[in-house]
Amino acid sequence: MAVWIKWSFWILMLKTFPLIAWGDEQDHSLKQVLFCQPQSPSPVLLKMFDEEQMFQYNFADKSVVPRIPNLKKWANQDVFSNSSDLAFDIQLCTEAMQNFTQAVVNITPETKGILDIKVFTLHPLTIGKPNTLVCFISNIIPPDLNITWRKNGILLTEGISYTGYFALSNIEYQTFSYLNITPTYTDSYTCNAQEGSTTAVAYWVSEYPTPSEILENVLCYLAIAIGIVFLFLGLLFLFLTWKQHRNGFVVQEMIDCSFENNETATFHYSLTFNRMTVVAYDATRQKFTYCDPYPCIKQIYMVAAGIAKKLNNKPGIVTRMQQEKSKCQAQVKEFWENTMERRVQPSMKVFLPDIVHEGSIPHLVCHVWGFYPADIVVLWLLNDTILVKNYTNAVPVGDWTYQIVALLDMRGSLPENKYTCVVQHSSLQDPMTEDWSYGLTSNQIKKISIATVVFVLGLVTLIAGFVLWRNAKKSGYIPIPGYNEGN
Ligand SMILES: *[C@@H]1O[C@H](CO)[C@@H](O)[C@H](O)[C@H]1NC(C)=O
Ligand SMILES: *[C@@H]1O[C@H](CO)[C@@H](O)[C@H](O)[C@H]1NC(C)=O
Ligand SMILES: *[C@@H]1O[C@H](CO)[C@@H](O)[C@H](O)[C@H]1NC(C)=O
C-alpha cells in the first residue's frame, strides 16, 4: 500500500537520507565454494550469490538442490565446475586439509567463531495462528553444528527444517533452521546449536502479541467494541560455554567473480586454511601463488608451497582457470534477473503490543518482512514530520528474504500523537507507510466505516420502508364504522 506522503515528508527525507542509491556502487559476487574438514559435513559444495545460497550439491544422490524455487531451472551440474575438475578439487581439498592440520596441530589452535544465535518469528506473531520460528546462527567456524529445538524443555523432532551452510565472503559460515509452531501465551522454545562441547542457546517466548484480527472482526461486526488481544515478540538470550577441541581445521576453495553493476566481473581463485588465504591464482602471471601478500608461519608455508607447485604443474590448469573465469562471467549474466534484479516487496504491520511482562517498556512495533534485497530504511515519524528514529539493520531469513523489526519507545508519548512507520525499499516506487495513533487503526476505521455505512443504510431503509408503509396505510384508511364515533 503505497500512500502519498506530504511534501514535508519528502523534504525531511531528502535532508535525512540524501544519498540513498539502491544497489549501486556495491560489490557483488558469485562464488563456488568447496570446503572440507575432519568432521562431517565434508566435503560441502555450494553456489553463493553475495550472502545468499543459490545451490547446494548433494553428494549422496549427486543432485543439485536450489535454495528457492525461482532457481530450479538452473539446478543441474553445470552450475558447478565440471565433474573431472570437481573430483580433482575434492581430492586436493581433502589432502590439503590433512597436510595443513598435521603441520600445525601442535602449534596453533583451530580458528573458532563465537556463535551468534537469534530466534525470531517469520511473520508478526498472533497467538493461535501458525507461524514459523527462525533460528539464525552466524559467525560459525568450523561449520559443524548440531541444531536442536526444544519446546518447554522437551526435544522436538517434527516440523523442523534446515538450510545447510552459507559460505560468506569473510570465510565464515551461517545457517538457518525453521520450526513450525502455533504460538500460545505460555510455551517457550529454545534453539540449541552444539559444536563439540560448545553450546549456544537462544530462548523464545511470546511476549508482545499483535491484536487478534479474528476477534477484532467479530467484535467490530457485532458491536464495534474493540478488545485488544495480544501478541508478539522475539526474545533473545545467549548462553555460551567454551572449550577447545582440536578438529576445527577447515580448508575452503573459493572460485568466484566479483562485480559492480554491469561491469565485467573480476575472477578469483583462492584456497584458505583456518580463514587465512594460503594459495591464490594470479591471473596476470597465470601462476598460483602462496602466502602472498599475507605471510604464513613456516609450517603452513611448506604445505602451501607444495600445493601451489602441484597446481602450477598440473597440465591444462591455466586453460581451466580461463574456463572458470568465462563461466563465472557468463553466469553473472545468466542469473542477473534472479540475483541483481531480484526485488521482492516488503509486507508491514504496525501495532502496539500488549505488555505481558510487568514493568517492561511499552514499544510500538513496526514489523517489516519478506523483502529483497536487504538494503532498507525504516523510519518512525511523529505527527507527519518529525523524524523520531530510523532503522536499517535487516536480518536474513535464509530464503532470499529479509526482515526488520523497528521498535519505538512509547514512554512519555502523548495521547494525541500520531506515529507513522515509513518503509523505503528499492522494490517500491513510493515509500510504504502505515499510521498508528491511540484509539483506532486505519484498518479498524475502515471496518468500522463499512459497518457504519451498512448500519446506517439499513436504518435508513428501515425508516423509509416503515414511513412508506404507514403512509400507504394512511391513504387507504377507511374508518371502521362506529369505531371513531363515540369517543
Ligand atoms: C600432502 O602430503 C603428502 C605426503 O607428504 C603429499 O604426497 C601430498 O602431495 C600432499 N598433498 C597436498 C595437497 O598438499
Ligand atoms: C551431533 O549429534 C550426533 C548424534 O547425536 C553426534 O554423533 C555428533 O557427535 C554431534 N556432533 C557435534 C558436533 O556435537
Ligand atoms: C572438464 O574440464 C576439463 C579441463 O578443464 C576439460 O578437459 C574437459 O573436457 C571438461 N569436461 C567436460 C565434460 O566439459
Torsion-angle region of residue 320: left (phi > 0), alpha (psi -120 to 50) or beta?
Answer: alpha
- pLDDT of 121 reads 94
Write the pLDDT tens digit of every residue in 113-164. Answer: 788 999 999 999 888 899 999 999 999 988 989 999 999 999 999 999 999 9
Q: How far apart, in whole angstroms, are the C-alpha atoms of residue 208 and residue 353?
A: 5
Distance from residue 316's CA to the centre of ligand 1 (Å): 20
| CA dist list (Å): 287 to 68, 137, 311 | 37, 37, 9
Nearest residue (CA) to ligand 2, atom 10: 146
Using CA atoms of 352, 356, 362, 368 in order, give the dihedral in degrees to the nearest 10.
-40
Grid cell, residue 59, equals 553428494
Is the per-residue pLDDT at 474 higher than 90? no
Residue bearing the bigger pLDDT, 329 or 19: 329
Can you list the domains of the chain with their CATH numbers?
28-109+247-338 (3.30.500.10), 116-240 (2.60.40.10), 343-437 (2.60.40.10)
- pLDDT at residue 412 in the model: 87
Mean pLDDT of the chain: 83
Complete edge-to-edge strand list for the sheet that includes strand 160-167: 116-121, 131-140, 173-181, 160-167
The Å distance, Cα 274 to ligand 2 centre, comes to: 22
User: What is the C-alpha to C-alpha distance for residues 30 and 199, in angstroms, rounded to an integer?
Assistant: 32
Distance CA 333, CA 327 (A): 10
Q: How confident is the model at residue 1 (pLDDT cuts 50, 70, 90)?
A: very low
C-alpha cell at 106: 601442535
Ligand 3, residues 85, 317, 321, 324: which to mutate, most atoms within 8 A of Cβ? 85
User: Could you give the C-alpha distances from 65 to 35, 58, 134, 170, in angstroms and in order?
Assistant: 17, 7, 21, 24
Burial class (CB in 10 A: 0-12, 13-18, 19+), 289: middle
What is the band of 3 on the pLDDT scale with cuts at 50, 70, 90? Answer: very low
pLDDT digits (tens, 9 = 90+) for 433-464: 999 988 766 666 677 677 777 777 777 777 77
Q: Looking at residue 22, what is its pLDDT?
A: 54
Q: Which atom of ligand 1 is found nearest the CA of 306?
A: 14
